[in-house]
């Protein structure tokens, strides 16, 4: 079991460029999440998905789009990157949304927008 993997690990973009972050999980989890982690602000939920073909907004969704075409993959897109999107991005998954379910995290993607 690889668990939760993220691609790429590092990326540098110029303002206005676009990119897609890929998250994959091999645990057959229904729920998947995208967070960003910034110094002094903790992790904040960007978007999440409760199953294949579904997505929902989290706390800080502006400037990001997501897709969940396959159950095992959750993509995070930046259409026009801004310096404020410089951050470390984490993907996570959980079996369901039940209160007994733990979230499993990927290793993160460090994104710098110049």
Partner 1 sequence: KQEVTQIPAALSVPEGENLVLNCSFTDSAIYNLQWFRQDPGKGLTSLLLIQSSQREQTSGRLNASLDKSSGRSTLYIAASQPGDSATYLCAVSGNQFYFGTGTSLTVIP
Binding site for partner 1 (CB under 8 A): 4, 33, 35, 40-45, 48, 58-59, 90, 92, 98-100, 102-108
Smallest gap, in angstroms, from Cβ of residue 95 to partner 1?
12
Nearer to partner 1, 6 or 85 (CB): 6
CB of 55 to partner 1, least distance (A): 14
Q: What CA–CA distances, in Å, run from 58 to 47, 66, 93?
A: 5, 11, 15
The DSSP secondary structure of 28-94, one letter per residue, reads --SEEEEEEEETTTEEEEEEEESSTT--EE-SS-TT-EEE-SSTTEEEEEESS--GGG-EEEEEEEE
Q: Which lies closer to partner 1 via its Cβ, residue 19 or residue 60? A: 60
**Which residue, 14 or 39, is less far from partner 1 as judged by CB?**
39
Least Å from the CB of residue 94 to partner 1: 9
């Amino acid at each position: 079991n690889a668990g939760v993997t993220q691609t790429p690990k590092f990326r540098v973009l110029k303002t206005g460029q676009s990119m897609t972050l890929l998250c994959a999980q091999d645990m057959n989890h229904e729920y998947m999440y995208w967070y960003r982690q910034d110094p002094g602000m903790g992790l904040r939920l960007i978007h999440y998905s409760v199953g294949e073909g579904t997505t929902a907004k989290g706390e800080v969704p502006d400037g990001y789009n997501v897709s969940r075409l396959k159950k095992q993959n959750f993509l995070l897109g930046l259409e026009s990157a801004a310096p404020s999107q410089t951050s470390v991005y984490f993907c996570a998954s959980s079996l369901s949304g039940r209160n007994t379910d733990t979230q499993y995290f990927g290793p993160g993607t460090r994104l710098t927008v110049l």
